[in-house]
């Protein structure tokens, strides 16, 4: 049993390492099973008519990703502007792993597809996509709703998102769709106007004016069109948007990058046909040139843009639609998806709206959102999983950032307000103040205020330090209207509205181009422009100098405005991102109404389901801990062992052995017995095993073999019988920060025994430390600690007092006193065990002695007995052999034996004087005569070597 426990002790650390290695291995093994399965795809080129009645064809390159099991529903995954089928490779693989057949293709004019970009024209790109639907209808791998009607969902981001809307509006074979960060009306996206003469209905949270004759969004338009010229995609967001619960920095999604070589052997796309129009159709090219040079769009241009926008067909969409729009998007804002949602809802389609913390300025959908899109497809194409419903989700970005990442939460509401009859968005009114101000438009519209940097926005939006400094209003070019500090938090969700008055400030042009933005101003004056978005508007000014009154819809955004913060409405004359007015002008701007109407959409935070597993884990862990405690308690109870016959014997040691793991045996087969009233000396040189033996008596060290009984009770660690032992072993042990007296009192308090039994005063007097007893122990000398420790051992007047080398560190008078204390203590009916390596010490103090050497018993008995050697006499002589003969001749003397320079003999009553006379008479020179000192012999023999 003890051998076993020793073995266990030795193997604890290796066993721990093995267990850890097994756990790590197990985790690695189970995880390595999660490695993504490879997805194969087939490439095919499909020809489609160049235009509806044309004989010419364009070649569309496609890839068909196949899942493990077919037939399966299909997903058509369209790419963004400037991309190709390679830029959606990763997402396609993800869908395929979820068990969908995935069709990706390069739209005409992109990638290796031929043809010219017609901006998602219903007659061209949409026809191409219908051709792809036909293709899916012929594939055996694709599940069918009917002959030639595949079970298919369409998704895509930006340009691809618009295509999904157009395709769903045109072709009813599409079963569901998820357009991501896309536009409703390209004319409004590139030429927005946020002002209306009369306020519009505010049923939905992010509805904006969509007025005619907008302000040209110069920077974005340029980037957008240059993507079509050069096939280098600056318009698609880079990286992924942050998501809830995610803390690490985003890794750029390499395979989402343009020219990404998703298995396509690294070939470059064909060199774009150079020329002013790039790969655009002449119509599109002409329209862009017109707008870019004049800053205004003519009616045919607007027609062209509108015809290739989802707005043209969205009122035909009845398929379940999940609209995903970004909160960090200055290209296609929240108002675009709002408009689409209204159209689809009016047509009777089911709409779910998701605003995520990304967009063209903030990143692609992250893993969780892509998973959500796949869940939507799973439910609507296969009926798998829970119904994603038709709710509204938006992501709220907190002000707090740790390690560069904003904290996010997602809020859900059962529906997007304002879609169904009667429901409307809750709006809070915030009072603005500010007198009429004059804002000047500089000649050429330069220098201009800065709100955002398109194309770079996604990198910048993640750095609060930069993005907050990015927004810059130039003095003299802006009118500012502030609110009071908010009394409680307002969670702005959508587009606020305000009514403004604008009048001529001098004799200049008949219209004003202005930019309205709403800042969140913190208590220390730091301004944050939510989403970095501005609302441009163009307003005609009455020539008589009177004011024009307009209702301006501010840009849609999600922003928690904390209590104590202010809202600041800034109306500036310029913005870097737009085509500003060229003519110098001055405008008088004032509030038509002091009310700013702020939309709020109360909802619940998304919380992950309650982790039942972890809860069970807690219960099981608690039960295991309680169980372990109970088992340990029973095992302790079982360990009690007492022998009533030995109840009166203070100490019995039987066959005691202590072997340490290193192979050292400190005590070997030691047996002795200490009777009542003895002062027993444990004598032995240093390292004889005395201290180890005493520690075993105190239950501090576990014996390897044998056992110890104190008053009949077998000693185990913490056995109650130990309360009858007072001990001092190998040095004092005090709390250095407490005084000697406090140490003794607290020690006694720790034993839990009644204070009346302690006899602290008597013990302290024995220690005799005087006033030093009230000093901290750390100031004591070695001798003082020693005396205090002996006093501590005597607390409670124990029946058995064990002192290990008590004389160490004491001076001779103190040693003398201590001997007296021990003798008198034993005389008062107690038992004392003293260990020492000094013979004289034991002889003078003890009544009995046990001599140990190298862990073994050498001699045991009364000190007088052992010292006197049983009546033998030693003669130190010059000739031991001669003396031995003389002694043997004497009557009565026997047991004569020689030693070096001495003869020992048992006198048996013969007087030593007679023997001495005989020796002298025989001519033997006698040096010394005396009792034989066996103890000394034995001891010297031991220590002498």
Partner 1 sequence: MSENGVHTDPGALKDLTDAAAQHHTKVAPDGSAAGYSARRTLRIRVELQRQIRRRRTQLVLAFLVLLPFILAASFEIGQANPNRRSGGFVDLATASGINFVVLTLFVSSSFLLPMIVALFFGDTIASEASWSSLKYLLAAPIPRHRLLRQKAVSSGILSVFALALLPAVALGVGVAWYGAGEVVSPTGEAAPFADGVLGMALAVVYIAINLFWVAGLAMFLSVSTDAPLGAVGGTVLVSIVSQILDQIEPLEDLRNYLPTHYAMAWVDLLSTDIDWSEMTRGTFSALVYGGIFTLLAARQFKSKDITS
Single out the residue of 329, 319, 4, 372 nearest to residue 164, CA to CA: 319
Q: Kindly tell me which of 18 and 615 has the beta carbon lying closer to partner 1.
A: 615
803 binds partner 1, rule: CB under 8 A = no
Q: Report in angstroms how near the CB of residue 712 gets to partner 1 at its nearest.
A: 7
Q: Report in angstroms how near the CB of residue 617 gets to partner 1 at its nearest.
A: 4
610 binds partner 1, rule: CB under 8 A = yes
What is the rounded distance in angstroms from the CA atom of residue 578 to the CA atom of residue 917? 138
What is the rounded distance in angstroms from the CA atom of residue 219 to the CA atom of residue 217? 6
**Which pairs with CB-CB distance under 8 Å and at least 24 residues apart come from 671-675?**
671/706, 671/857, 672/850, 672/857, 672/860, 673/649, 674/649, 674/650, 674/800, 674/831, 674/833, 674/848, 675/649, 675/650, 675/831
Which residues, 27 to 66, sit near partner 1 by CB under 8 A?
27, 31
Which residues, 59 to 118, sit near partner 1 by CB under 8 A?
none
What is the rounded distance in angstroms from the CA atom of residue 707 to the CA atom of residue 648? 17
Burial (0-12, 13-18, 19+ Cβ within 10 Å), 824: exposed
DSSP element (H, E) containing 26 = helix 2-32
The half-sphere exposure of 777 on its side-chain side, counting CA atoms within 13 A, is 18
Provide the CA 673 distance to its chain's centre, in angstroms: 61
Q: Report in angstroms how near the CB of residue 811 gets to partner 1 at its nearest.
A: 7
Separation in Å, CA 249 to CA 93, 284, 368, 459, 462:
23, 39, 15, 12, 9
617 binds partner 1, rule: CB under 8 A = yes
Q: Report in angstroms how near the CB of residue 770 gets to partner 1 at its nearest.
A: 5
What binding mask, one character per residue, do residues 626-665 give for partner 1 by CB under 8 A, x or -? Answer: --x---x---x---x-x-----------------------
Q: Kindly tell me which of 163 and 696 has the beta carbon lying closer to partner 1.
A: 696
Separation in Å, CA 143 to CA 130, 134, 165, 904:
17, 13, 22, 116
Q: Kindly tell me which of 213 and 799 has the beta carbon lying closer to partner 1.
A: 799
Q: Report in angstroms how near the CB of residue 12 gets to partner 1 at its nearest.
A: 8
Burial (0-12, 13-18, 19+ Cβ within 10 Å), 294: exposed
By CB under 8 A, which span of 67-75, 256-264, 581-589, 746-754 interacts with partner 1? 746-754
690 binds partner 1, rule: CB under 8 A = no
Q: Report in angstroms how near the CB of residue 375 gets to partner 1 at its nearest.
A: 19
By CB under 8 A, which span of 372-380, 475-483, 768-776, 910-918 interacts with partner 1? 768-776
User: Which of 178, 569, 763, 834 touches partner 1 (CB under 8 A)?
Assistant: 763
What is the rounded distance in angstroms from the CA atom of residue 664 to the CA atom of residue 299? 103
21 binds partner 1, rule: CB under 8 A = no
Which residues, 511 to 530, sit near partner 1 by CB under 8 A?
522-524, 526, 528
User: Which of 129, 187, 596, 721 touches partner 1 (CB under 8 A)?
Assistant: 721
Q: Report in angstroms how near the CB of residue 794 gets to partner 1 at its nearest.
A: 7
- What is the pairing mode between strands 705-710 and 713-714? antiparallel
Q: Report in angstroms how near the CB of residue 433 gets to partner 1 at its nearest.
A: 23
**Which pairs with CB-CB distance under 8 Å and at least 24 residues apart come from 369-373?**
369/241, 369/243, 369/324, 370/91, 370/94, 373/155, 373/178, 373/180, 373/322, 373/324
Q: Report in angstroms how near the CB of residue 372 gets to partner 1 at its nearest.
A: 17
Which residues, 182 to 221, sit near partner 1 by CB under 8 A?
none
Buried b (16+ CB within 10 A) or exposed e, 122-141: bebbbbbbbbbbbbbbebeb
Q: Kindly tell me which of 410 and 873 has the beta carbon lying closer to partner 1.
A: 410
By CB under 8 A, which span of 375-383, 546-554, 587-595, 693-701 interacts with partner 1? 693-701
DSSP per-residue string spanning 826-851: HHTT-EEEEEES-HHHHHHH-SEEEE
User: Which of 735, 840, 864, 940 touches partner 1 (CB under 8 A)?
Assistant: 735
Single out the residue of 911, 910, 903 nearest to residue 927, CA to CA: 903
Single out the residue of 479, 464, 482, 471 nearest to residue 449, CA to CA: 471
By CB under 8 A, which span of 205-213, 331-339, 346-354, 605-613 interacts with partner 1? 605-613
What binding mask, one character per residue, do residues 824-863 give for partner 1 by CB under 8 A, x or -? Answer: xx-xxxx---------------------------------
Which residues, 463 to 502, sit near partner 1 by CB under 8 A?
464-465, 468, 488-489, 491
Write out 374-387 in H/E/C secondary structure: HHHHHHHHHCCCCC
Q: Kindly tell me which of 57 and 523 has the beta carbon lying closer to partner 1.
A: 523
Q: Kindly tell me which of 490 and 513 has the beta carbon lying closer to partner 1.
A: 490
Q: Kindly tell me which of 640 and 655 has the beta carbon lying closer to partner 1.
A: 640
What binding mask, one character per residue, do residues 561-600 give for partner 1 by CB under 8 A, x or -? Answer: -xxx------------------------------------
Q: Are 183 and 336 in contact (CB under 8 A)?
A: yes
Q: Are 651 and 708 in contact (CB under 8 A)?
A: yes
Count of residues of this chain found to bind partner 1 when the rule CB under 8 A is applied = 124
Buried b (16+ CB within 10 A) or exposed e, 210-238: bbeebbbbbbbbbbbbbbbbbbebbbbbb
Which residues, 236 to 255, sit near partner 1 by CB under 8 A?
248, 251
What is the rounded distance in angstroms from the CA atom of residue 835 to the CA atom of residue 440? 103
Q: Kindly tell me which of 58 and 769 has the beta carbon lying closer to partner 1.
A: 769
Instruction: Give residue for tokens 């009310």.
Output: 595
- Three-state DSSP class for 67? coil
Q: Report in angstroms how near the CB of residue 766 gets to partner 1 at its nearest.
A: 6
Burial (0-12, 13-18, 19+ Cβ within 10 Å), 812: exposed
731 binds partner 1, rule: CB under 8 A = yes
- What is the pairing mode between strands 351-356 and 392-402? parallel
Q: E-assigned strands of 16-138?
A: 40-49, 57-66, 74-78, 101-105
Q: Kindly tell me which of 56 and 751 has the beta carbon lying closer to partner 1.
A: 751
Which residues, 356 to 415, sit near partner 1 by CB under 8 A?
396-402, 407-409
784 binds partner 1, rule: CB under 8 A = yes
Q: Report in angstroms how near the CB of residue 407 gets to partner 1 at its nearest.
A: 4
708 binds partner 1, rule: CB under 8 A = no
Q: Are 691 and 729 in contact (CB under 8 A)?
A: yes
Q: What share of the chain is helix, strand, coil (3-state, %, to 5)?
A: 35, 30, 40
881 binds partner 1, rule: CB under 8 A = no
Q: Report in angstroms how near the CB of residue 563 gets to partner 1 at its nearest.
A: 5
By CB under 8 A, which span of 7-15, 107-115, 419-427, 471-479 interacts with partner 1? 7-15
10 binds partner 1, rule: CB under 8 A = no
Q: Report in angstroms how near the CB of residue 614 gets to partner 1 at its nearest.
A: 4
Q: Report in angstroms how near the CB of residue 884 gets to partner 1 at its nearest.
A: 50
Which residues, 331 to 350, sit near partner 1 by CB under 8 A?
none
Q: Are 835 and 844 in contact (CB under 8 A)?
A: no
Q: Kindly tell me which of 231 and 719 has the beta carbon lying closer to partner 1.
A: 719
Which residues, 810 to 829, sit near partner 1 by CB under 8 A?
811, 813-814, 817, 820-821, 824-825, 827-829
Q: Kindly tell me which of 44 and 621 has the beta carbon lying closer to partner 1.
A: 621
26 binds partner 1, rule: CB under 8 A = no
């Amino acid at each position: 049993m003890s051998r076993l426990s020793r073995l266990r002790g030795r193997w604890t650390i290796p066993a721990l390492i093995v267990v850890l290695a097994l756990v790590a291995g197990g985790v690695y093994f189970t995880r390595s099973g999660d490695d993504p399965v490879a997805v194969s795809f087939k490439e095919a080129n499909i020809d489609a008519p160049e235009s509806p009645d044309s004989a010419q064809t364009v070649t569309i390159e496609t890839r068909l990703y196949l899942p493990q099991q077919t037939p399966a529903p299909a997903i058509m995954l369209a790419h963004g502007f400037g991309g190709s089928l390679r830029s959606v490779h990763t997402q396609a693989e993800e869908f395929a792993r979820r068990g969908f057949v995935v069709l990706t293709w390069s739209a005409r004019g992109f990638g290796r597809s031929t043809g010219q970009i017609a901006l998602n024209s219903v007659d061209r790109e949409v026809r191409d996509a219908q051709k792809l639907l036909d293709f899916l209808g012929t594939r055996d791998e694709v599940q069918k709703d009917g002959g030639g009607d595949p079970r298919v969902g369409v998704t895509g981001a930006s340009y691809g998102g618009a295509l999904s809307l157009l395709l769903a509006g045109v072709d009813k074979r599409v079963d569901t769709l998820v357009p991501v960060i896309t536009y409703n009306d390209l004319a409004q996206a590139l030429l927005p106007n946020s002002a209306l003469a009369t306020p519009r209905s505010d049923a939905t949270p992010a509805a904006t004016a969509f007025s005619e004759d907008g302000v040209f969004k110069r920077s974005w338009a340029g980037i957008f069109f240059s993507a079509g010229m050069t096939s280098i995609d600056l318009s698609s967001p880079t990286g992924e948007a942050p998501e809830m619960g995610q803390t690490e920095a985003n890794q750029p999604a390499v395979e989402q990058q343009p020219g990404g070589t998703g298995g396509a052997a690294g070939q470059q796309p064909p060199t774009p046909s150079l020329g002013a129009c790039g790969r655009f159709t002449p119509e599109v090219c002409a329209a862009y040139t017109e707008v870019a040079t004049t800053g205004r769009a003519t009616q045919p241009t607007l027609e062209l843009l509108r015809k290739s926008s989802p707005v043209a067909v969205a009122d035909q969409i009845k398929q379940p639609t999940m609209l995903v729009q970004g909160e960090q998007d200055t290209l296609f804002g929240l108002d675009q998806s709002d408009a689409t949602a209204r159209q689809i809802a009016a047509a009777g389609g089911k709409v779910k709206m998701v605003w995520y913390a990304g967009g063209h300025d903030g990143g692609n959908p992250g893993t969780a959102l892509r998973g959500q899109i796949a869940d939507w497809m799973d439910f609507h194409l296969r009926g798998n999983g829970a119904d994603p419903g038709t709710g509204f989700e938006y992501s709220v970005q907190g002000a707090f950032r740790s390690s560069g990442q904003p904290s996010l939460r997602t809020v859900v509401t059962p529906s997007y307000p304002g879609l169904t009859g009667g429901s409307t968005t809750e709006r809070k009114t915030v009072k603005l103040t500010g007198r009429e101000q004059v804002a000047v438009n500089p000649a050429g519209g330069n220098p201009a205020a800065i709100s955002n940097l398109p194309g770079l926005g996604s990198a910048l939006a993640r750095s609060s330090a930069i993005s907050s400094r990015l927004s810059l209003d130039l003095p003299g070019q802006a009118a500012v209207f502030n609110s009071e500090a908010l009394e409680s938090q307002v969670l702005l969700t959508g587009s606020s509205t305000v009514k403004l008055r604008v009048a001529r400030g001098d004799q200049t042009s008949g219209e004003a181009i202005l930019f309205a933005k709403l800042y969140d101003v913190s208590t220390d004056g730091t301004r944050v422009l939510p989403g970095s978005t501005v609302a441009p508007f163009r307003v005609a000014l009455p020539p008589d100098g009177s004011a024009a009154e307009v209702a301006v819809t501010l840009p849609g955004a999600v922003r928690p405005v904390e209590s104590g913060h202010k809202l600041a409405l800034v109306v500036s004359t310029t913005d870097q991102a737009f085509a500003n007015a060229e003519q110098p002008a001055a405008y008088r701007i004032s509030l038509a109404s002091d009310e700013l109407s702020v939309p709020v959409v109360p909802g619940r935070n998304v919380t992950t389901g309650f982790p039942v597993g972890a809860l069970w884990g807690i219960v099981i862990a608690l039960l295991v801990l309680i169980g372990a405690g109970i088992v340990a308690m029973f095992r302790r109870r079982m360990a009690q062992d007492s022998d009533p016959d030995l109840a009166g014997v203070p100490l019995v040691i039987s066959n005691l052995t202590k072997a340490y793991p290193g192979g050292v045996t400190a005590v070997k087969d030691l047996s002795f017995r200490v009777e009542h009233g003895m002062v027993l000396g444990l004598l032995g040189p240093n390292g004889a095993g005395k201290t180890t033996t005493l520690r075993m008596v105190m239950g501090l060290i576990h014996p390897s073999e044998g056992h110890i009984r104190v008053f009949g009770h077998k000693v185990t660690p913490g056995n109650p019988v130990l309360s009858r032992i007072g001990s001092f072993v190998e040095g004092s042990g005090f709390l250095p920060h407490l005084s000697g007296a406090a140490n003794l009192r607290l020690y006694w308090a720790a034993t839990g025994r009644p204070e009346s039994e302690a006899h602290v005063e008597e013990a302290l007097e024995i220690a005799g430390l005087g006033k030093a007893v009230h000093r901290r122990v750390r100031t004591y000398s070695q001798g003082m600690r020693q005396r205090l420790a002996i006093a501590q051992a005597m607390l409670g007047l124990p029946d058995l007092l064990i002192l290990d080398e008590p004389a160490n560190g004491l001076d001779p008078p103190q040693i003398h006193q201590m001997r007296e204390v021990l003798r008198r203590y034993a005389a008062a009916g107690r038992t004392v065990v003293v260990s020492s390596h000094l013979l004289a010490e034991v002889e003078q103090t003890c009544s009995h002695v046990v001599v140990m050497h190298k862990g073994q018993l050498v001699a045991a008995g009364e000190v007088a007995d052992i010292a006197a050697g049983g009546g033998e006499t030693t003669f130190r002589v010059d000739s031991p052999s001669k003396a031995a003969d003389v002694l043997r001749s004497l009557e009565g003397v026997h047991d004569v034996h020689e030693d070096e320079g001495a003869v020992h003999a048992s006198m048996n009553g013969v007087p030593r004087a007679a023997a001495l006379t005989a020796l002298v008479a025989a001519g033997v020179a006698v040096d010394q005569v005396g009792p034989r000192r066996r103890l000394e012999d034995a001891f010297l023999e031991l220590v002498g070597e």
